[in-house]
A and B are shown apart, each in its own frame.
Chain A
Amino acid sequence: DAGITQSPRHKVTETGTPVTLRCHQTENHRYMYWYRQDPGHGLRLIHYSYGVKDTDKGEVSDGYSVSRSKTEDFLLTLESATSSQTSVYFCAISPGEGNTIYFGEGSWLTVV
Chain B
Amino acid sequence: QKEVEQNSGPLSVPEGAIASLNCTYSDRGSQSFFWYRQYSGKSPELIMFIYSNGDKEDGRFTAQLNKASQYVSLLIRDSQPSDSATYLCAVILSGSARQLTFGSGTQLTVLP
A-side residues, CB < 8 A to B, are 31, 33, 35, 40-45, 48, 50, 58-59, 90, 94, 98-106
B-side residues, CB < 8 A to A, are 32, 34, 42-46, 49, 51, 88, 90, 92, 97-105
Taken together as a complex, chains A and B put the C-alpha atoms of A48 and B97 apart, in Å, by: 11
Determine chain A's interface SS by DSSP, over half rule. Answer: strand
Contact at B44–A99, with CB atoms within 8 Å? Answer: no
CB-CB under 8 A from B102, the residues of chain A are 35, 42-44
Contact at B97–A99, with CB atoms within 8 Å? Answer: yes
CB-CB under 8 A from A58, the residues of chain B are 99
CB-CB under 8 A from A102, the residues of chain B are 46
CB-CB under 8 A from A48, the residues of chain B are 98-99
Task: Pick the contact of A100: B49, B97, B101, B103 (CB < 8 A).
Answer: B49
Taken together as a complex, chains A and B put the C-alpha atoms of A40 and B9 apart, in Å, by: 12
Knowing A40-B104, A99-B92, A100-B34, the reply to whether A45 touches B99 (Cβ < 8 A) is yes
Which of A35, A48, A100 has the largest number of chain B CB atoms within 10 A? A100
